[in-house]
Structure 1
Amino acid sequence: MSQLPEYAIIVAGGSGSRMQHEVPKQFIEVAGKPILMHTIERFYEYNPDLRLIVVLPQQQLNTWRDLCRKHGFKIFHMAVAGGATRFGSVKNGLDAVQGEGLVAVHDGVRPFVETTTIKAAFEAAAVHGSAVVAVSPKDSIRELTPEGNQAVPRANYKLVQTPQCFRTGILRRAYEQAEQEHFTDDASVVEQLGEKIVLVEGSYRNIKITTPEDLVLAEAFAKEQ
């Protein structure tokens, strides 16, 4: 474990629209408890001293408190209100990070991240300043072109996951920039500063639960544990 204090900002801004579900996706239960609780547990298992910051839409904060009471969820974390976009939400989470350290930003609906992956990301970020978890695509890839579409070599591409880990100074500087359209994740924000992004091997189990079929997989993975 690095000597720097470690933080995790867990961003859970989902509404559940693509899920065709009444409940926001981070609160949908898998194996008897909300997805977000499974996610928090993964980071706690990696390092019980990790400082956990959970970012939720303002109108979901009370629901989350009620869920924690209902499930007797005792892992200590700070709950912070998010912004209008993911960029704004990470920025709000960063305000709760003190001084120098390492911070992992993770999707609240990726509850199957392995502790070995979290560890590898923090260790790489301690050395390089940044570390982003990614996997190789399994499918063939085609690029859309003005003429139609064309095959591209799959080996040249990676699918990006989270956590994405950074030294706090780098991430703070990155989030002082104005938000831009192409900022789809933290790596793209940090890259804009001219920082180099180091990739760490992820896992095909580290799925982002977004659509109804993901829930079927999630239940299967949870059963296996």
Structure 2
Amino acid sequence: MEPRKKVAIIVAGGSGTRMGSAIPKQFLELAGKPVLWHTVTAFVKAYSDMQIVLVLPEVHFSYVESWLPEFAGTTVTLVKGGETRFHSVKNGLDQVKEPAVIFIHDGVRPLASTALIRSCYEAALAHGSAIPAIDMKDSIREIGEEGNRAVNRERFKIIQTPQTFLSELILPAFALPYDPLFTDEATVVERQGHRIQLVPGEEANIKITRPLDLVIASTLLDHPRS
């Protein structure tokens, strides 16, 4: 398949509740820059022609407008978020007007490597979708009405972002009515009968939700990957 337009829809609608901070977690400082700045930078570094769509509450636009000029060579569009993640992603997808490979990424995953982003792009071109996943290391148990039982962790994967799709798969999928069972973008696309392609994720591609995550992310930034 020929190279495609590339659009990264970065969803940044979180609050600072679990961080114990009045500042939303995507705007907390990491190595001297906001977390979200690092997230945007990861995609700009991966492909020089990447287009960025930032989806966030309108009241948070001012948090990013001060540093957006640093990405003057990149098309960056600010879009108002929705009531749920589904609706926020849908608002972002409304900005895509031509065939593209679309990355849907958590704003608080600032450490996705160039290699991972490019791997997702290539896999989406080949298979229609690319969902990063890593192995579970801990033992897990299933909770039921009659108690709990051990299950085989090798049958499960931990899912990450960027969840990546050809536009002709994800755009029609998000025309579906909202369903609370849509836990991520893959579940929406899957509802239309498409198979989901898993690709190797990265241990370092952490989601920053708690104070310890910032410490880990800062350490990982001191040891950059390709």
| TM band (smaller chain) | over 0.9
Moved beyond 2 Å, runs of 4+: 66-69, 72-76
User: Percent same amino acid at aligned positions?
Assistant: 45
Q: Is the Cα–Cα contact under 8 Å of residues 2 and 123 in structure 1 kept in the other structure? A: no
Distance 2:177 2:77 in 1: 26
Corresponding residue for 1:166?
Answer: 165
Corresponding residue for 2:58?
Answer: 58
- 1:49 paired to 2:49: yes
Deviates most, 26-35 or 51-60: 51-60
Corresponding residue for 1:126?
Answer: 125
Unaligned ranges ≥5, structure 1:
none
Distance 1:52 1:73 in 2: 10
Distance 2:52 2:9 in 1: 6
Distance 1:9 1:199 in 2: 19
SS of 1:162 mapped into structure 2: coil
Deviation of 1:224 (Å)? 2.3
Deviation of 1:75 (Å)? 5.5
Counterpart residue identity of residue 34, structure 2: P
Deviation of 1:127 (Å)? 1.2
Q: Please, what TM-score do these two structures have when normalized by structure 1? A: 0.95
SS of 2:214 mapped into structure 1: helix
Corresponding residue for 2:137?
Answer: 138
SS of 2:143 mapped into structure 1: strand
Q: Is the Cα–Cα contact under 8 Å of residues 31 and 223 in structure 1 kept in the other structure? A: no
Distance 1:160 1:75 in 2: 32
Write out aligned runs for 1:31-50 (5 A): 31-50=31-50
SS of 1:209 mapped into structure 2: coil
Deviation of 1:218 (Å)? 1.2
Superposed CA RMSD:
1.4
- 1:178 paired to 2:177: yes
Corresponding residue for 1:15?
Answer: 15
Q: Is the Cα–Cα contact under 8 Å of residues 35 and 111 in structure 1 kept in the other structure? A: yes
Distance 2:98 2:223 in 1: 39
Deviation of 1:36 (Å)? 0.5
Distance 1:95 1:217 in 2: 35
Distance 1:109 1:83 in 2: 17
Count of residue correspondences: 223
SS of 2:49 mapped into structure 1: coil
Unaligned ranges ≥5, structure 2:
none
Q: Is the Cα–Cα contact under 8 Å of residues 131 and 160 in structure 2 kept in the other structure? A: yes
Distance 2:64 2:8 in 1: 18
Change (3 A) 1:21 1:124: same
Distance 2:2 2:205 in 1: 23
Q: Is the Cα–Cα contact under 8 Å of residues 142 and 150 in structure 2 kept in the other structure? A: yes
Q: Is the Cα–Cα contact under 8 Å of residues 27 and 63 in structure 2 kept in the other structure? A: no
Distance 2:177 2:22 in 1: 33
The CA deviation string for residues 141-168 of structure 1, in whole angstroms up to 9 with x for no partner, is 1111111111111110000000111111
Corresponding residue for 2:82?
Answer: 83
Deviates most, 58-67 or 35-44: 58-67
Corresponding residue for 1:114?
Answer: 113
Q: Is the Cα–Cα contact under 8 Å of residues 133 and 162 in structure 1 kept in the other structure? A: yes
Change (3 A) 1:204 1:83: same
Corresponding residue for 1:203?
Answer: 202
Deviation of 1:33 (Å)? 0.3
